[in-house]
Amino acid sequence: MEKERLPASFEPIFYQESYKIPQQFKHKLFTISLLHRITNRIHARIKIQEMEDGIWISLPGLPFGGLESQSVVPSEALNFLMVSVEKWIKGQGGKAIVIRMPSKIYPTAPSLRRVDWPILGYEASARLVNIHIPLSNFPFEARLHKSERRRLRKCLASGFTANILQDVDIESWYNWLAKQWEIKGYAPSVSCQKLCSILSEDPDRYYFHEIVHNKQRIATGLLVKAHAQVFYTFLMADRADYRSYSPMVMLYASMFETARLAGAAFLDLGTSLDQTGQFKESLGHFKMNLGGQVTHKIEWRKMLL
């Protein structure tokens, strides 16, 4: 996929730059942009794909949605963009449109709330809980619930160390992670091949973190710079036999510090879904105990036939 020739008037979320979107999708990706005639710059755009049964989704497989906009674009212009998208999809024989919105911690999200979704005929078909931690000089440990603070101190007292990996053997790292997930009855959300594709563009945006005890890895995860203001946690795993220590608390502490030192405003912990796509209460509770705060990701749907 080629790099878009026209510049955007906003900083895109990392994966929204079409030439950086992982090439793992089975269906062709389309980009429809709202162009300012005078400046010749993109003021809003949507990336969308046709999935099964004529359903068009923006965007499947990515946590940030596929619609973004400059902050000052008026609602009339955004409505015009969505009406134009609908007409084009109808011309392709589409049966439905699904728009997945990012959490409001992403800078382009507030402008998207100006779209008159109900007036345009959309219904809110899903409202996913998303959890994040605000980044500031307020210490990570001070944010923790007393139970998680106790676990963090236990890890430190036991000699656990946190590292950021360099020159990572992706296949070896992935196999370790997949094994831990398999022990717990889960599977990673992406294959090793897909992960390598994801990492092939701008590798400097990815930080491999791990927790080590007695020279053995006991927890690991991938931190992604999704935007200058937001870092995103991805593919987290720990050893089941270290459950009493809960090394994931220390892993999140390490990621928190990396994102804070990079000048970001938020650490995005994601939606806490299980293998069936349902909110996992225990995981959500754990993230809240880390000092997490809740926003929501809205999914708007419109039937075209």
Same domain, 140 and 251: yes
pLDDT of residue 113: 83
Residue 206 lies in a domain: yes
Residue 158 lies in a domain: yes
Report how far residue 39's alpha carbon sits from residue 29's, in angstroms, rounded to the nearest whole number: 26
Residue 4 lies in a domain: no
Report how far residue 238's alpha carbon sits from residue 246's, in angstroms, rounded to the nearest whole number: 8
pLDDT at 34 over 80: yes
Same domain, 113 and 145: no
Same domain, 169 and 258: yes
List strand residue ranges (DSSP E) for 11-100, in order: 29-35, 42-50, 55-58, 67-69, 96-100
Among residues of the chain, what percentage have pLDDT more than 70?
A: 90
Domains: count for the chain: 2
Single out the residue of 121, 13, 105 nearest to residue 66, CA to CA.
Answer: 13
Residue 181 lies in a domain: yes
Average of per-residue pLDDT values in the chain: 87
- Residue 34 or residue 1, greater confidence: 34
The predicted model gives 205-232 an average pLDDT of: 95
Same domain, 23 and 123: yes
pLDDT at 3 over 50: no
The predicted model gives 194-222 an average pLDDT of: 92
Same domain, 118 and 66: yes
Report how far residue 29's alpha carbon sits from residue 2's, in angstroms, rounded to the nearest whole number: 12
Same domain, 151 and 122: no
pLDDT of residue 73: 85
Residue 245 lies in a domain: yes
Same domain, 21 and 115: yes
Q: What's the gap between Cα 125 and its chain centre?
A: 20
The predicted model gives 102-108 an average pLDDT of: 85
Same domain, 234 and 185: yes
Would you state the structure tokens that stand for residue 52, as one six-digit string?
Answer: 């099964």
Residue 236 lies in a domain: yes
Same domain, 162 and 252: yes
Same domain, 221 and 108: no
Kindly report which listed range (23-32, 91-100, 213-222, 263-272) carries the lowest average pLDDT score.
Answer: 23-32
Residue 20 lies in a domain: yes
Same domain, 191 and 208: yes
pLDDT at 24 over 50: no
- The pLDDT tens digits for 121-151 are 999 998 889 999 999 888 999 999 999 999 9
Report how far residue 294's alpha carbon sits from residue 19's, in angstroms, rounded to the nearest whole number: 31
Same domain, 21 and 75: yes
**CATH code for position 222:** 3.40.630.30
Q: How far is CA 107 from CA 102, 134, 138, 275, in A?
A: 10, 14, 22, 29
Domain that holds residue 40: 14-127+297-303
Residue 1 lies in a domain: no
